[in-house]
A and B are shown apart, each in its own frame.
Chain A
C-alpha cells in the first residue's frame, strides 16, 4: 500500500466517522461511541503502520490486529473497507441477517478478521500467543491489540500483561482507547483504573501516553513501539468517546445506541458541512 499523507489521513478519518454513523443508523443498533474514539488509532494503524495485504488476508508475514473490544467493530469494518479488504458499499449491511459484518466481529464470516471477539478482556492473551508463535518461527510480524479502558477491569488482561512482559514480547503492541467512559458511566466512577500509566509501567511495559486524536502523535507512538526492544509496548491514547459528532462526545449513552435519521443527518452535516 502506498503511504498517505497526514492530510489524506485526516480525510479518511472523516469518511470513517461518516461510515460509523451511517452503518449504525442503517442497522438501528451498534456501538458508535467507542468506534468514534478509535478512528485516528485505527486509520493510522491500517493505512500507515501495519504490514498487511488487503487482497491476501492469509499472507503469513502480515502483522496481526486483534480487536479486543469487539463492540467497536464499526470502526474496524470501515477502515478495512477503505483499505481495500471489501467494498465500502457493504458497510451498510452491518448487523443485517446474512451479513459478513456481524454485530461483533466473526473471523468465520469476514476474511481479514483474525479472530472472533465480543467477550471483553481476551485480546491481549491472543496477541501474546501469536507473538510467541512468531518468535518461535523466527518471523518478524507484530501483534496489535485494541482495548477499551473499561475493558481493563477484566482480570484476564492483567494476567496477559504479566505474560507479555515475562516472555519479553516486544512484538506485541497494546493500544488503550482511554476515552474515560464505559456503559454505566465514568470509568473512574464505576471502577477506577487510574493511575493507568504507572500500572502498565509497574508491569514492565514500555508505556507511551498520547492524544489519540492527533495523527502525528499516533504515528510517532506506533514508531516508538516498533523501535522498543526487549519489552512489550502500550500506547495509552487519551481520546473522547463519540469524537467528531458534537452531541455524541463524552456522552455515555452513545456507547451502544444508533442515531435516528435526524441525528444521522446532523452528524453528517457536522462532518462535511451543511451543503452535503
Chain B
C-alpha cells in the first residue's frame, strides 16, 4: 500500500483557510513568499485580511506585534531560516518580552529545502525559538497534524512558532487523532527504548520501530510535536519504563528537542540518551532524500542509534 504524501506547509495553508472562515480576527502576513509558504491559499480567499510586507522580515514581525496589540491574531509567515534568524531580536524583545499573541510560521524547515543549499536549510530555528521565554514551539509531523497545529495556536494566547517542511512527506496521522499543544502522542508502546521525534522524521521512527521489532527490540515511539512546552510527563515515563532514549529532529543537534529532553533527564532521571540531528555543521545541496541518507535521518540510522544506546544501558 503506498502512503499519501503531502508537505506539512499544505497543512498550514489548509489550517489558515479554515481559520479564515471561523475566526475573523485571524490576519496573515507574508514576506514575498506567499506561494511557497501556502499563505496565498488564505490570501486568495480573504484578501482583505492578508498583508504582504515585502522582503522585510523584521518589519513583518513588528507589524504582527502591532496587530496583536490591536486585538488581531496575526500569522507572520516566511521561510523558517529568515523569520527565526533575521527577525530573532524582534521576536525576542517585542513579541516574547511583551508576551504578544503573535503566531510565527517558518516554512522550509529542516533539510527539506534541499536543493537551495545551506543558506535556506533552517537547522537552528528550533533552538533559537526554544530559548525564548513565553514562546511555544511546534513541529508538526505531517500535513494533517500541521493543519491541527495551525488551528490550535490560534486558540491559545501567546507567541507560537510553527515549523513546516517543504517536501511532501508521508501522511500517517488521521483527522480523528488527538492533538493538543504540549501533549505528546505515543504512537507505539515499547519497553526497551524510547525514540522521541518531531516533524516528518517521526515517520522514520515508526519504520524503525518495525525493523527493531523483527530484531526482538521493543521501541516506544513518541511524537513530540510540541518541543516547548515539553511534555515532561511522557519523557520521564519513557525514561523510567524503558531506561534508554533516542531523540531525532531535522535540526542542529544542540539546543533543540534533544537538548530539551536531555536537560530534563539529567536533572530527574539520568538514562543513556543518543541525540540525532545535524552534527554541528552546515549542510550542502542535494535532494532531501540524499541528504537524509548522507546525514543520518533514515529508519536505518535510528535503528543504529537504538543499538548504540542499548549498549550503554
Give B137-167 as 1s and 0s: 1 = Cβ < 8 Å from A's Cβ atoms: 0000000000000000000000000000000
Stretch at the interface among A19-27, A35-43, A126-134, A251-259: A126-134
- How large, as a class, is the contact surface on chain B? 20 to 34
Interface residues of A, Cβ cutoff 8 Å to B? 60, 64, 106-108, 114-119, 121-134, 136-137, 143, 155-156, 159-160, 162-163, 166-167
Asked if residues B98 and A156 are in contact (CB atoms below 8 Å), the reply is no
A residues within 8 A CB of B51? 132, 167
Asked if residues B58 and A156 are in contact (CB atoms below 8 Å), the reply is yes
> What is the distance, in angstroms, from B176's C-beta to the closest C-beta of chain A?
35
Asked if residues A108 and B99 are in contact (CB atoms below 8 Å), the reply is yes
B residues within 8 A CB of A132? 27, 51, 63, 66-67, 70
**21 interchain pairs, CB-CB under 8 A:** A116-B97, A117-B94, A119-B90, A122-B62, A124-B62, A126-B62, A126-B66, A129-B69, A129-B74, A130-B69, A132-B27, A133-B27, A133-B67, A133-B69, A134-B70, A136-B70, A156-B58, A156-B59, A160-B56, A160-B63, A162-B54
Asked if residues B67 and A129 are in contact (CB atoms below 8 Å), the reply is yes
Interface residues of B, Cβ cutoff 8 Å to A? 27, 48-49, 51, 53-54, 56, 58-72, 74, 89-90, 92-94, 97-100
Complex alpha-carbon distance, A159 and B58, angstroms = 8
Asked if residues A126 and B72 are in contact (CB atoms below 8 Å), the reply is no
Asked if residues B89 and A107 are in contact (CB atoms below 8 Å), the reply is no
Asked if residues A126 and B65 are in contact (CB atoms below 8 Å), the reply is yes
Asked if residues A156 and B70 are in contact (CB atoms below 8 Å), the reply is no
Complex alpha-carbon distance, A267 and B152, angstroms = 56
Contact among B63, B92, B98 for A125, CB-based, below 8 A = B63
Asked if residues B58 and A163 are in contact (CB atoms below 8 Å), the reply is no
Given the interface contacts A129-B67, A130-B66, A156-B90, does A108 sit within 8 Å of B98 by beta carbon?
Answer: yes
Given the interface contacts A129-B62, A163-B59, does A136 sit within 8 Å of B98 by beta carbon?
Answer: no
Complex alpha-carbon distance, A196 and B68, angstroms = 31
Complex alpha-carbon distance, A129 and B98, angstroms = 15
Contact among B58, B61, B72, B97 for A133, CB-based, below 8 A = B72
> What is the distance, in angstroms, from B240's C-beta to the closest C-beta of chain A?
37
Asked if residues A136 and B49 are in contact (CB atoms below 8 Å), the reply is yes
A residues within 8 A CB of B48? 136
Asked if residues A119 and B89 are in contact (CB atoms below 8 Å), the reply is yes
> What is the distance, in angstroms, from B48's C-beta to the closest C-beta of chain A?
8
Complex alpha-carbon distance, A137 and B72, angstroms = 9
- Of the candidates B67, B92, B99, the one having the most CB atoms from chain A within 10 angstroms of its own CB is B67
Asked if residues B61 and A136 are in contact (CB atoms below 8 Å), the reply is no
